Amino acid sequence: MSLYALCSILFSIGLYCLLVKKNLVKKIIGLGIAEYAVNLFFILLGYRQNGEAPIVDTYAAAGQYFVDPLPQALILTSIVIGLGVTAVMVAISVRIYEKYRTFDINEIRRLKG
Amino acid sequence: MKQEKGMTLIVKRITKVTVSLIFLFGVYIVLHGHLTPGGGFAGGVIIALSFIHLVLAFGKEAALKRITDTVISVSESVGGLLFWGIALLGLVFAGTYFLNFLPKGEPFTLFSSGTIVLCNIAIFLKVGAGLFAIFLALALFRITDDKQEGRNGL
Amino acid sequence: MIIVLMIAGAIVAMELEDLLSSIIALGAVGIGLTLEFLLLRAPDLAITQLVVEILSLIILIRATVGAKVPQEKIKARVGYFAFAVLFVVVFLVFSYRALGALPEFGAPIMKIGAQYIRDALTRTGAANIVSAVILDFRAYDTLGEATVLFTSVIGVLAILRKAGRKQ
């Protein structure tokens, strides 16, 4: 139970960093931390005490004691999609820097257009 | 003052050895995706990292001489179409969409498990080419102060 | 515990002024996550998380090349700051009440997972159960993921098409 609480503390650190900081790159870093916390939470849900990694070893080992393979398959998809989202965010912020010469969102809001 | 392209001499010598090793390791992880941990996604990212290693050590032109623009976009499209084509062949041959219809041989050998090996190869082509294209677009984008055009897209 | 080290790394990544140092601290949090995946018996995910972490660090460092860091003026209005703290505290209270309803750590319910474990070797012939799940039992999700990656590649190439000029 305390492992779940630590995971939600990590998520709230990322959320706080996304809300409060004024630098665009710091906001991207905060979103990345929140994403790590969500992936960790799903894998914590599927862990079985004294379980093995879900790879079948020998022929007649059908009764081995495995951890749950379904959350691992879903989070594999999520990790690769997180990379794509980070790439698009970095492309947009490179364009914003090229036009306004700053990453500060207060300056950008003042120099609109 | 002559501008040296890429990095120093030590990095260039070591890169000539390690690029082929990284490429071979990525191909191994993709082909054994149904026997050991790994699969198409991790192998595709490793292949893209080997090409990025080449670009970082030697400069852009040396890497673009080997892999041209059309090769990258064609291989990404071929990967996507191949994955979708395997799904449609399942519909044509055996009645259900995405059915695993090829014969499953002996387990724990390289060519068991039906269509899983072909799907891994299709995903590896798509992910590797796509991520390398993202890196090239970000690295060639030039913040211009003088009148100089950046790269015109791939 | 590794999660405590990750929390410390996240706080360091948030508070540093220099952009390059905070990106390196984010890399440390990612490698801590890789070690945690290995301890939770998920080797597929550990390999994928490590290489994706390296690639996203390369892309993030590219964004900060030659950028000057603005001064972090803390003279934002106090109401703005207090609203953010209130939001986070409300989230923590509700999550604490919701996490009490989960099954306890180490004993999952596994209604569908047990069926996948039983049928993977005989019906698909693959020894890696996670590969059998993402490419045979749930192949639609992999098709959706390939579409999302393709869309993000097209998006990046469309945004960075032609370099502008300084006004």
- Give the HSE-up count for residue C2: Cα atoms under 13 Å, Cβ half-sphere: 15
Q: Say yes or no to pLDDT of B147 above 50.
A: no
Instruction: Give the contacts of A35 (CB within 8 A, at least 6 positions apart).
Output: A14, A82
Prediction ipTM score = 0.89
Phi, psi of A23, deg, nearest 5 = -95, 140
Q: Hunting for tokens 């090349």 — which residue is that?
A: C65
Residue A67: predicted pLDDT: 87
Whether A108 contacts A96, CB under 8 Å: yes
Query: What does the pLDDT average to over A83-87?
Result: 94
pLDDT winner (highest mean) among A47-51, B116-120, B129-133: B129-133
31-60 of B, contacting A, C-beta below 8 A: 36-37, 39, 41, 45
**Predicted pLDDT at A52:** 81
A86/C141 touch (CB, cutoff 8 Å), yes or no: no
C102 and chain B: CB distance < 8 Å anywhere? no
What are φ and ψ of residue B148, in 5° steps?
A: -140, 130
DSSP H/E element including B88: helix B69-94
Say what the pTM is: 0.88
Average pLDDT over residues A63-89: 90
Q: Which residue in C has a C-alpha nearest to residue A79's C-alpha?
A: C49
Tell whether the model's pLDDT for residue B111 goes beyond 70.
no
How far apart are alpha carbons B69 and B88 in whole angstroms? Answer: 29
What is the average per-residue pLDDT within C144-160? 92
Q: How far apart are CA C95 and CA A11, in angstroms?
A: 11
Q: Of A17, A33, A42, which to mutate for an interface test with C (greatest number of C Cβ within 10 Å)?
A: A33
Pick the CATH number of A2-49+67-110 from 3.90.600.10, 2.40.128.110, 1.10.287.3510, 2.60.120.560: 1.10.287.3510
pLDDT band at C30 (very low <50, low <70, confident <90, very high): very high
Could you give phi then psi for residue B62, rounded to 5 degrees? Answer: -65, -35
CA nearest neighbour of B102 among B81, B120, B116: B116
The single residue listed with the structure tokens 């991520």 is B131
Integer angstrom CA distances of residue C103 from B8, C41, C100: 56, 19, 8
pLDDT value of position B22: 94
Contacts of A4 in chain C (CB under 8 A): 99, 102, 105
Q: How far is B27 from chain C (nearest CA, A)?
A: 14
- Mean pLDDT, residues A6-35 taken together: 92
> Distance between CA C20 and CA C11 in Å, rounded?
15
- pLDDT digit string (tens) for B55-99? 888 887 777 787 788 888 899 999 999 998 888 887 777 655 556
How many C-beta atoms lie closer than 10 Å to residue B94's C-beta?
Answer: 11
Q: Which two tokens stand for residue C113?
A: 């997972």
pLDDT of residue C151: 94
pLDDT at residue B146 greater than cutoff 50: no
When the pLDDT of each residue in chain C is averaged and rounded to a whole number, the result is 85
> What is the residue-averaged pLDDT of chain A?
86
The pLDDT assigned to A96 comes to: 87
Share of chain B above pLDDT 70, in %: 74
- As separate numbers, helices (DSSP H) first and strands (DSSP E) second, chain C gives 7, 0
Q: Does A31 touch chain C (CB under 8 A)?
A: no
Residue B96: what pLDDT? 59
* Joined tokens for residue C101: 């309803």
pLDDT higher than 90, residue A87: yes
B138·A91 Cβ contact <8 A = yes
Residue among B37, B45, B141 minimizing CB distance to A94: B141
Is residue B117's pLDDT more than 90? no
3-state secondary structure of A95: helix
C66: alpha, beta or left? (left if phi > 0; alpha if psi -120 to 50): left
- Phi, psi of C37, rounded to the nearest 5 degrees: -65, -35
pLDDT digits (tens, 9 = 90+) for C102-145: 888 877 787 888 888 887 777 777 788 898 889 888 888 999 99
pLDDT interval class at B104 (50, 70, 90)? low
What pLDDT sits at residue A9? 92
Does residue A35 surpass a pLDDT of 50?
Answer: yes
Assigned token pair, B12: 């260039």
Contact partners for chain A, using 3 or more CB pairs closer than 8 A, are B, C
Question: At residue B143, does pLDDT exceed 80?
Answer: no
Residue C155: is it exposed, middle or buried by C-beta count within 10 angstroms (0-12/13-18/19+)? middle
- Looking at chain B, which residue has its C-alpha nearest residue A60? B107
Radius of gyration for the alpha carbons in chain B, expressed in angstroms and rounded: 19
Question: Are A90 and C59 inside 8 Å of each other by CB?
Answer: yes
- Nearest-CA distance C74 → chain B (Å): 30
Phi, psi of B117 (to 5 degrees): -65, -40
**pLDDT greater than 70 at residue A106:** yes
Q: What integer pLDDT is reported at residue C153 of this predicted model?
A: 93
What's the pLDDT score for residue B148? Answer: 36
Buried b (16+ CB within 10 A) or exposed e, C81-113: eeebeeebeeeeeebeeeeeeeeeeeebebeeb
Q: Is residue B145 pLDDT above 90, yes or no?
A: no
Is residue C121 within 8 angstroms of chain B, CB to CB? yes
pLDDT at B150: 39
The residue among A56 and B32 whose pLDDT is bigger is: B32
What are the structural domain ranges in chain A? Answer: 2-49+67-110
Residue B153 is predicted with a pLDDT of: 38
Using DSSP's 3-state secondary structure scheme, residue C106 falls into strand
pLDDT of B13-44, one tens digit each? 999 999 999 999 999 999 888 888 988 999 99
Cβ within 8 Å, pair B134-C166: no
Contact with chain A for residue B138, Cβ under 8 A: yes
Distance, CA of C73 to CA of B43 (rounded, Å): 44
Partner residue facing C135 (CB), from B104, B116, B126: B116
